[in-house]
Every structure is written in C-alpha cells, then in structure tokens.
Amino acid sequence: MSEYIEHDRSGNSVGIVEKKSHTFAAAPDELILDSGARLGPITLAYETMGTLNADKSNVILVTHALSGDSHVAGYYSKDDPKPGWWDIMVGPGKGIDTDKYFVICSNVLGGCMGTTGPATINPATGRPYGLDFPVITIGDMVKAQKALIDHLGVTRLLAVIGGSIGGMQVVEWAISYPKMVASAIMLASTIRHSALAIAFNEIGRQAIMSDPNFNKGDYYNGPKPDLGLALARMVGHVTYLSDDAMRSKFGRRLQDRDSLSFDFDANFQVESYLRYQGSKFVQRFDANTFLYITKAADYFDVRQQHGHDSEVKAFAGVQAKFLVISFTSDWLYPTYQSRDMVKAMKKNALDVSFCEIESKCGHDAFLLPNERQSTLINRFLKRIYEEENDAL
Amino acid sequence: MSEYIEHDRSGNSVGIVEKKSHTFAAAPDELILDSGARLGPITLAYETMGTLNADKSNVILVTHALSGDSHVAGYYSKDDPKPGWWDIMVGPGKGIDTDKYFVICSNVLGGCMGTTGPATINPATGRPYGLDFPVITIGDMVKAQKALIDHLGVTRLLAVIGGSIGGMQVVEWAISYPKMVASAIMLASTIRHSALAIAFNEIGRQAIMSDPNFNKGDYYNGPKPDLGLALARMVGHVTYLSDDAMRSKFGRRLQDRDSLSFDFDANFQVESYLRYQGSKFVQRFDANTFLYITKAADYFDVRQQHGHDSEVKAFAGVQAKFLVISFTSDWLYPTYQSRDMVKAMKKNALDVSFCEIESKCGHDAFLLPNERQSTLINRFLKRIYEEENDAL
C-alpha cells in the first residue's frame, strides 16, 4: 500500500505548520521510471500552506533542490529552531503569499525526508533498498509529483516554482504536462547540466563511495559513510557560494586565534565553516540520496530527453508562461545557461520574462532574502492569477 | 650531511636531460623556518638546462607549482613518455631559450620528488617524518632555493619565473632578496590566497586526512591514502579548468557508450577523466606533500607576512622588474588579484608590465602552449638581459 504523508499548515499567525500523516489509496502503487525499471509502492511526503480555494485555481507547487524537503516554510512548533527552507519566500504577505495561494511542497522521489528513497524498505527484500534503488531522473521526480497533484484533485497549477534542481523539475513539469501548468518560475537553474556541474557532483559521489563505511550503499544497520558525505557537502557548499561572497563572509580571517597555528587544524574561518557544514549535514541527510539526486541532475538535459538534440524542439509543446531568474555571481548555473533557455523559448513564441539579478551571493542567492526576487515573483504570480481568472 | 641532487641537461639537440646526483657540503644543514622550527639536514633536488655563462649573468630560476618537480623540460631518455612539466616554455628557441639562458629548477621544500619533505627519513627517529615534518611556508621554500643559488655561486638571478604556487615563490624572492633578483615573472598567481582557494585546498586535505589509510600521516610502511589523495586531485583538476574549457573538452559526451547507463559508473567523459586523473596522480605523489604545499599556499599573504597589513608596504623594498600575467578564465586566481598586486607595485614606482591573456583554459592556461605567453616572456627576458648588461 502506498501513502502520502501530509503536513498541513494550521493557519495560525506565527506560521506554525502542524505535522499530519495520511494514507491514501490513490498514491501511486507503481511508477514506471525513465530507465524502464518499476518502483513501488511509493510514499510521498508533502506539506501544504494556505487555503485551497473552491475552484482549486490557486495552487502553487514548490519544488525543492538537493538538500531540501517538503517543509518549505513556517515552524512546526515554537521550540523549532529553524523554519522551512524557503521561509524567506513563502508565507503570508511574502513573495509567494499564502494568504492568497495554496502552496504544496513534496519531498522528491529518491529523497530521505519521508518520500520513498534508497533508505526505504524494499518490499522485495524487507531491507532498505540501498543501491538496489533504481537510478531516477528529474522526469521521474515529476511523475511522482503529478500523482500527488492528481490525488489532490487539482487539474491545473497556477505555478510550479523552484531553484537549482528544483528549477529542473519546473521545466520538466512545463514540458511533460503542458496543459496542467499555467506558469513556471525557474531560479538559478539550467536545462542541461554542464561538465563543470557534473564534475563537482561526481567528486561528491566519489567521496561517498570511497568511504569505507559506504559498504556498497548497504550501511543502514551500521556506521554510515559520514566522512564521505561531509566531504561531498563541503564541495557543494563551495559551489553554492561565490568568490565575492566568500571574500566578504570569511576573507582570510582566522578562527578563534590571532596568528597562524602552523598545523593542520582549521586555522581560517572558511575552513571551520566548511567542516561545520559537513558535520551538520550528515546528521540529517542520507548519503545514498545524495548519490541519486545528483545523478538525476547530471542526467538532466532537455535537448536529449525531450528535443531530439534541440532545446528549441524541447519547448515546442509548452504552454506555460515563464519567469526565469538568474544571478550574476552564480557560477554553478551561470546566466548564459538561463539565456540559452530563454532563447529557445522565444523561438517557440512562449511568454517568457527573464531577469538576471545582481547578487554577490552565488548560486545560493535564490535562498537568501532579496527584495527584487520577492517582488518579481509576487507580481508575476499576481499577473498569472488575474490572466487565469480573466480567461475563465 | 646535506646534499643537492643535480640533474643537468646533456646539451644534445633532442633535449634529453641526463640525471645526475651530487652531494655538496654547502647544502643547508639546518633551516630556521618561519614557524620558528628547525629543519635539517636538507636535500634539494634540482635540474639545470642550458649553459652557465662566464659571469653567471644568464641564470633563470623556474619555480614549480603544487604537482611539479625539478624536471622542468626535456626528456631523460628516448623512451621517456613525457617531457618535463614546462616543456612548452623551456628549451632551445622557446619562451625561455636554453640556448641563451641557464635554467635552474628545484623541487620545493616539502616536496616528494627528491627534496626533503614529509616522506624523508627524520634523522631524530630513523623513520619518515610524516606529520612530524614542520608546517612550512612559501618563504621557507624560497630560503631553501636561496641556499642552492648561493651554493652554485650565483649572486644575481636574471629572472625568477613561475605560475600558480610557483608565482608565489617568485614574489617571495623579489621581496626577500631584492638585490639578487633582476626580474620576476609571475603567472596565474596571487599574493594573498583567497577564501575560495583555501576552501578547495581544505577539501583536498580533508579528503586525505579522512582516508582510513592516512593513519595520522604515518602510512609509509603500509597502504597509502590513495582514495583521499585521488579525491583531492579531482577537486584540484576542476579548479584548474574553466566552465568553458570543460564544455569544449567534455561537454556532456558519454564515455564509451551511446546512452545513459542508469547506474553509478562513470557515464560522462568528464567523470572518467577525473577518475583517471585521480588514480594517475596517486602513483607519483605523496599525500603528505599535498597537505604541506597546499597549507603553505593558504598561508601566503604578502600583506600579513611582509607588509604590516598593506600590500603597498610589502613591495616597498623590491627592486626587480616585474612581468605579471593573468588569464581571463582563471577563476582560482582571477585577474583582479593580479591587478591588485600590480597597483601595489605601481604605488612603489616599480617597473611592472601586466598582461591579461584571453584564454578559455582556466588556471591551467600557463602550462599550455600559448604563442602570446611565450612571446611576452621571451621579449621581456631579452629586454632584462640587455638592460642588465648595459648596466654593467
């Protein structure tokens, strides 16, 4: 039996999200994946915020990136130290205004935050899948989300929105389910994972798979490949920042000392920051999920998967109105990649707005408070909502 | 007893370098390091090419980067599969013309190619130093080179030239021994290691130190931390290339197959390239040396070490004429860092030429054939040689 685990927002003013868990017979019992493999039953963890209106025309699907989850915004309780991962954007009166819109965010397929992934028990063996979990694609993640949206009785999404790997899901939605997507907002992302981006992911995967605790992915009953996963996270963190951001955030400042220590301890703040980020990440994330999600990102290429080697062809059937946002200092998915996509869309006469936001924060910029980003998204959604309702 | 190991070029036309080993009583028995520690006796491996002229006025010291060694150019024998690391630049009729100049290149202190480093036997214990080897600085490397130059009876260097970490040694020479350096050529380098560059080095070091074979650096009698060192090298390789270079070199091309394999093998050429580079590196390089040389680079900051927090003050006593070259796509030591240095030199009214070379090859550009780079260096050296001889 498959299930959806739902966490929905209780609606109180401090933005506290109440955890709930439901089991639905409508959840996909089996998905046929892009690889041809079959996977099932599938559990999807998701959270909602805001109120679904009567005609279900105010639904926004938020898609998360590598380390995100379904907990997009708000707090679970007053003791909760941190809100959801995109609290700067999602909430009452924010860029994605939950007083107006009904927001859904689900943990991706292959994830480790409630949705079926490599740590899930494989019904065929009674043990966690580990590397028996099939390699999935961005398309497979979207197929699972589609089942959730169907299950909720929603036939059209006002918007699908996400950054980074979440942005890839946005594009996949617009291409795969053109009639269901009124608009698509893609931030700091790409439609074709570059050699540079693949290289960093591969280094992260090699770090995990080289860890002696990795044990071919079968580590759930023993010590975990924490050192490898921490290294992978450290590499990731550097790619999320920019030279500029690191200069202003750390520079050459020393950690808790006045002079160089002449040893291999963390002398510089940037060293201790990375070590801290690495060690914190392993407490909440599954190394196998890191492997599967990065592989899905590396495989992502709309030309190859949807366009017979042409991105123009890939967007041929798309109907969604697009807002594409890139950031000047993002060197993981640089602006030229967004521009290439926008060009391909324009050749299909799509309604696309593009904005490169000046930022020193690198790839991570979409996760950080930015008035311009919030305003752009807020206005775009308002316009789409009006156009959708005018059209009725 | 200390020794210099000398390999000098036999002078034959195919550029074959003959290996020789000499022991000299003049080698430094002990160096007092920047940390205050004492290290000795010290062996320095070096090679020479070209012929020293009568007044010893044609000496060029080439300094190498992280993975280089004293074998700067030419072949040891006809069976040698590869020439020295800077064969594109050093040789008869080349940018650094060995028909005119006498080129010296020594393996850096802390290295693993003949010069005293962590793999050397510690006379106090009779076992390899490992992590008992003291943390060294770029200044310490240069002190050791200075002892070699003194030993050879050379009182003035026509030029010191190097890229990357070699470029740091160039600057250190010009600052520490101003009267000995007629000119200094620095390529793709920096005078102040940035947070970004420190971050990548720290990830490499963590990869090595996390390897279970690392054994606190004491691995010389057992299995070596090859997986960690390979990872460190993979990280390094990505930083040496550029987005552009990786796009044209690899793009999304698959390795030996027509379609995605849906597993964690190396599907993309860039993945197999990195794995290959990693595994090749461990055959020739010592993991501890990686730790020590990267740490020396991270510590490098002329402001802090020579300028009372001012780079302008750091260059106050310098007399060398400078040629500074940066590359447009080098994001490890971007052009703005070279410009900052040039500004500080100009404020001291130094004779400095600066050129940013258009290149898609990233940081590695200085190691690759480039007509402009060779011509710039060749002409600069010619000018300096003439000016030096006019001055006599």
- Segments making up each domain of chain A, as ranges: 3-194+301-391, 198-294
Contacts 24+ apart (CB under 8 A), A127-134: A127/A220, A128/A218, A128/A220, A129/A288, A130/A216, A130/A217, A130/A218, A130/A219, A130/A220, A130/A288, A131/A216, A131/A217, A131/A218, A131/A288, A131/B264, A133/A39, A133/A288, A133/A292, A134/A33, A134/A35, A134/A37, A134/A39, A134/B262
Percent with pLDDT over 90 in chain A: 89
For chain B positions 292-351, those within 8 Å of chain A (CB to CB) are 295, 298-299, 301, 304, 331, 334
Query: CB–CB of A360/A327 below 8 Å?
Result: no
Q: Tell me how close the Cα of B49 comes to any Cα of chain A, in angstroms.
A: 35
pLDDT per residue over A75-94, tens digit each?
A: 988 888 999 999 999 999 99
**ipTM value:** 0.91
Domain spanning A198-294: CATH 1.10.1740.110 = yes
- Mean pLDDT, residues A266-279: 95
Q: What is the mean pLDDT of residues A299-305?
A: 96
Fold of the A3-194+301-391 domain? Rossmann fold (3.40.50)
Which of A206, A246, A291 faces B195 most closely, judged by CB atoms? Answer: A246
Among A149, A161, A63, which Cα is nearest to A106's? A63
How much is the pLDDT for A165? 98
- B210/A203 touch (CB, cutoff 8 Å), yes or no: no
Judge: domain B197-294, CATH 3.30.420.40.
no
Q: Which residue is closest to B212 within chain A, CA to CA?
A: A212
pLDDT digits (tens, 9 = 90+) for A240-252: 999 999 999 999 9
Q: Is B302 exposed, middle or buried (0-12, 13-18, 19+ CB in 10 A)?
A: buried
Q: What mean pLDDT comes out for the span B270-299?
A: 97
CA distances from A123 to A25, A120, A215 (A): 17, 9, 21
The average pLDDT across B376-383 equals 98
Q: Is B330 a catalytic residue?
A: yes
Residues 6+ away with beta carbon under 8 Å from A40: A2, A28, A29, A30, A31
Confidence (pTM): 0.93
User: Which CATH number fits the domain B3-191+301-391, given the four candidates 3.40.50.620, 3.40.50.1820, 3.30.565.10, 3.40.50.2300?
Assistant: 3.40.50.1820
Percentage of chain B beyond pLDDT 70 is 92
Burial of residue A77 (number of CB atoms within 10 Å: 0-12, 13-18, 19+) = exposed
What is the identity of the amino acid at B63? T
CA dist., res. B311 & res. B301, Å (int): 9
Cα of A324 to nearest chain B Cα, Å: 21
Verify whether the Cβ–Cβ distance A270 to B198 is below 8 Å: yes
Instruction: Report the distance separating Cα A183 and Cα A163, nearest Å.
Output: 15
- Among B286, B330, B359, B364, the active-site one is B330
- Tell me whether residues A198 and B251 touch, CB distance under 8 A: no
Q: How far A245 CA sits from the closest chain B CA (Å)? A: 9
How high is the mean pLDDT of chain A?
Answer: 92
pLDDT of res. A36 = 96
- Summarize pLDDT for B34-67 with one digit per residue, the tens: 999 999 999 999 999 999 999 999 999 999 999 9
- The answer, yes or no, to whether residue B314 has pLDDT greater than 60, is yes
Are B40 and B115 spatial neighbours (Cβ–Cβ below 8 Å)? no
For an interface test with B, the pick among A32, A135, A138, A235 (most B C-beta atoms closer than 10 Å) comes out as A235
Q: What percent of chain B has pLDDT over 90?
A: 88
Judge whether B70 and B7 are in contact, CB under 8 Å.
Answer: yes
Q: Hey, are the CB atoms on A275 and B251 less than 8 Å from each other?
A: no
Q: Does A363 participate in catalysis according to the annotation?
A: yes
Within this chain, domains B3-191+301-391 and B197-294 share the same CATH topology = no
Which of A135, A215, A247, A260 has the highest number of chain B CBs within 10 A, making it the mutation to test binding with B?
A260
Alpha helices, DSSP H, located in chain A:
138-151, 165-176, 195-210, 226-240, 243-249, 269-281, 287-299, 302-306, 311-314, 335-346, 371-391
Q: Is A261 a catalytic residue?
A: no
- Is B134 touching A (CB cutoff 8 A)? yes
**Residue contact A231–B207, C-beta within 8 A:** yes
The reported pLDDT for the residue numbered A278 is 97
Q: List the single best residue of B34, B193, B196, B293 to mutate versus A (max A Cβ within 10 A).
A: B196
How far apart (Å, rounded) are the C-alpha atoms in residues A322 and B349? 55
* Sequence-distant (≥ 6) Cβ neighbours of residue B99 within 8 angstroms: B50, B92, B93
**Separation of alpha carbons B263 and A37, rounded Å:** 12
